[in-house]
Amino acid sequence: MTITPWKTVNSHYLIRDSWVVLRADRCETAGGVVLDPYYVQEPPDWVQIVAFDFEDRILITRQYRHGAGKTSTEIPCGAVEPGETPTEAIQRELLEETGCKSEILQPLPILSPNPARYSNRIHPFVATGVRQVQEQRVDETEEIEFEFLSVNEVLALIDAGLFSQALHVASIFLALRSRGMLVASGQRATR
């Protein structure tokens, strides 16, 4: 069976500013069902990094997130700015948020935050040999704490619901798998 994409009959923007781009589409399914309006957000692509130091500890950040109204435990992340590649964006974000650089940077599979409503992609990376080389340089609206935690400490935070940023949890598991630190049942770790 082939799935037929919806036909976009009409589209217009409701909001276009530096924080939100929201469009309303009039769509028609292959079966003739009309969805009007169908809202789609168009944020820039995002980057996030699972950064390991020389002791295989993961660099985590904590910052206030107004949407949730709480301080969130995360990994370094940010938006890809116009003219930047995802690799340039993550190197910039890592340095700004934590003052850290990595020896080796490897892209992980590209993800979608919510393909039903968001048009952007997430570019996760895994980095090794991460160390602090300068003071952090956060934006005036940011207050970011950071530290390195063992893999077991990060997993315990996830299990306790204290590391609740779902997109970051996905990247952590992709990074652990790419480094041979997480294997499927019945397989043996090579590390």
What is the C-alpha to C-alpha distance for residues 7 and 30, in angstroms, rounded to an integer? Answer: 8
One domain, residues 22 and 50:
no
**Is residue 162 predicted with pLDDT exceeding 80?**
yes
Q: Residue 159: inside a domain, yes or no?
A: yes
> What's this model's pTM, rounded to 2 decimal places?
0.91
Average confidence (pLDDT) over 104-133: 97
**First CA to last CA across the chain, in angstroms?**
42
**What residues make up the domain containing 142?**
46-178
CATH of the domain at 77: 3.90.79.10
Residues 103 and 31 in one domain: no
Are 64 and 129 members of one domain? yes
Q: What is the mean pLDDT of residues 173-184?
A: 90
User: What are the tens digits of pLDDT across the range 52-86?
Assistant: 999 999 999 999 999 999 999 999 999 999 999 99
> For position 188, what pLDDT does the model report?
58
- Rg of the chain (C-alpha set): 19
Give the model confidence (pLDDT) of 2-51 as tens digits: 999 999 999 999 999 988 999 999 999 999 999 999 999 999 999 999 99
User: Is there a single domain that holds both residue 84 and residue 27?
Assistant: no
Is 28 inside a domain boundary?
A: yes
pLDDT exceeds 90 at position 139: no
Q: What is the number of domains present in the chain?
A: 2
- State pLDDT tens for residues 85-106: 999 999 999 999 999 999 999 9
For residues 34 and 61, membership in a common domain is answered with no
What integer is the mean pLDDT of 138-153?
Answer: 94
Q: In the prediction, which pLDDT does 189 show?
A: 54
What is the structure's pLDDT at 190? 53
- Residue 187 predicted with pLDDT over 60: no
The 10 Å Cβ neighbour count of residue 9 is 12
Contacts of 58 (CB under 8 A, 6+ apart): 50, 51, 52, 75, 148, 149, 150, 151, 154, 172
Cα of 66 vs its chain's centroid, Å? 17
